[in-house]
Amino acid sequence: MANVEFERVTKRFDGGGRAAVSDLSLDVADGELLVVLGPSGCGKTTALRMLAGLEEPDAGDIRIGGESVVGWEPKDRDIALVFQQYALYPHLSVRDNILYPLKVQRIGKTDRMERVRRVADLLGLGALLDRRPAQLSGGEQQRVALGRAIVRQPQAFLMDEPLSNLDAKLRTQTRTEIKGLQRQLGVTTFFVTHDQAEAMTLADRIAVMSAGELQQIGTPDQVYDHPANRFVAEFIGSPPMNLLPAERVGDAAIVAGGWRIPVPVGAASGASVTVGLRPEAIRLAETPAPDAQPAEVYLIEPLGSEVIVNVKLGDHLIRVRTKPEVRPEPGQTVYLAAEPGGVRLFDAATGEALLG
């Protein structure tokens, strides 16, 4: 097991155009579970493939356990990969699929069988060892693919959207299993996903990427509570953070519809800013209160344990998270107030967070 570092890593595929990965620096601790999160095409797979040795960076360095691995063959990097396509050998049994990497590594037969038994126990595959992949469900196939990665006891696991072929229920279940397994094994893990909920639930830290560039790296709480910029603010959280154009006036920001939101010191008075409010950072009352902003209910989305109330304020639709018993009618006037600790400010031009 080892720590993994990316130092100013850049990769271009077509020479001239935008880099697939641009100037990426990351330092992942031994045993850490890092989730690389971002929309399709932002460079997640490319970053992972460079760590695995399937692509070489154009610039920068990649180190495993302090040693540069740039130019090393994939097989010399001692890394195990799990992809969205499980790529199990269809003609081999589950046992032989899991065994396969050990044969390649020329590990003795007794040791091999013992390791397979342990992995099968860990993943609940004991009863399936004689089946072929075609005789397994999607979830079971994915567990076999995980088993094949774990059995090698590598320095690091790289997982590229390994759950995206599973249905919603199995996905949540398997992600819990992966987290438990990773904790138990203590192997440094890179887990790539475009699903922010998956990232939030799994990660020790999340690296958020957009267009080849790292936007922010931090714990799930840090990226959720203090997004570094508007991209992160909108990408993490469901529904996303409300982002409202505003003018700074004194110690407040005035957003569309004239809503006056007290803000901490930040941008100069008069500057254009974007106010960020999580749906749970807005209090919604059905009766007027001093300083509360009237707004019209557009529609409500009941979700069982909570309700998302969509309200219209000027041209903007604002989403507010409320208790399940709060059920205002569409067209009704409600009164909004921002939680003082939940107000975030971004530079209107650059989108960067302004410290408050």
Distance, CA of 275 to CA of 156 (rounded, Å): 40
CA angle centred on 277, ends 274 and 282, rounded to 5°: 140
Tell me how far apart the alpha carbons of residues 343 and 203 are, in angstroms, rounded to a whole number: 25
44 interacts with ligand ADP by CB under 6 A: yes
**Exposure string over 84-100, b if 16+ CB within 10 A, otherwise e:** bebebeeeebbbbbbbb
Among 46, 97, 196, 322, binds ligand ADP (CB under 6 A): 46
**Is residue 42 involved in binding ligand ADP (CB under 6 A)?**
yes
233 touches, from Mg ion, ligand ADP, none (C-beta below 5 to 8 Å by class): none
- C-alpha–C-alpha distance, residues 48 and 4, integer Å: 12
CB of 64 to Mg ion, least distance (A): 21
Q: Which does residue 13 touch among Mg ion, ligand ADP, none (CB within 5 to 8 A, set by kind)? A: ligand ADP
Residue nearer to ligand ADP on the CB measure, 43 or 220: 43
Whether 296 contacts 331, CB under 8 Å: yes
Smallest gap from Cβ 126 to Mg ion, in A, equals: 33
Any contact of residue 163 with ligand ADP (CB under 6 A)? no
Q: Which is nearer to Mg ion, 45 or 188 (CB)?
A: 45
15 makes contact with ligand ADP (CB under 6 A): no
* CB nearer to ligand ADP: pick between 45 and 242: 45
Residues 6 or more apart whose Cβ sits within 8 Å of residue 228? 215, 216, 352, 353
Among 4, 20, 166, 282, contact with ligand ADP (rule: CB under 6 A): 20
**Residue 279 interacting entry, from ligand ADP, Mg ion, none, C-beta within 5 to 8 Å by type:** none
| CB distance 297 to 334 below 8 Å | yes
Q: Is 153 left (phi over 0), alpha (psi -120 to 50) or beta?
A: left
Backbone angles phi, psi at 330, to 5 degrees: -55, 140
Contact (Cβ atoms closer than 8 angstroms) between residue 296 and residue 311 = yes
Smallest separation, CB 193 to Mg ion (Å): 9
144/207 with CB nearer ligand ADP: 207
205 binds, among Mg ion, ligand ADP, none (CB under 5 to 8 A by kind): none
What value, to the nearest 5°, has the Cα angle with vertex 102 and ends 101 and 108?
A: 165
Instruction: Give the residue with the Cβ less far from Mg ion, 36 or 217.
Output: 36
- From 43-51, 82-90, 108-116, 249-257, span contacting ligand ADP (CB under 6 A): 43-51
- Nearest approach in angstroms of CB 54 to Mg ion is 12
45 contacts Mg ion (rule: CB under 5 A): yes
Query: Parallel, antiparallel, or unpaired: how do β-strands 333-338 and 282-285 relate?
Result: antiparallel
Structure tokens at 286: 């059905």
277, 344 Cβ separation under 8 angstroms? yes
- Of 43, 154, 220, 227, the one binding ligand ADP (CB under 6 A) is 43
Structural contact between residues 223 and 216, judged by C-beta atoms closer than 8 angstroms: yes
Q: Which two structure tokens, joined as six digits, stand for 77?
A: 């990097």
Answer yes or no whether residue 40 interacts with ligand ADP by CB under 6 A: yes
Residue 216 in the binding site for ligand ADP (CB under 6 A)? no
Where does this chain touch Mg ion (CB under 5 A) — which range of 39-47, 77-85, 96-104, 149-157? 39-47
Binding stretches for Mg ion (CB under 5 A): 45
What is the binding site for ligand ADP (CB under 6 A)?
13, 20, 38, 40-46
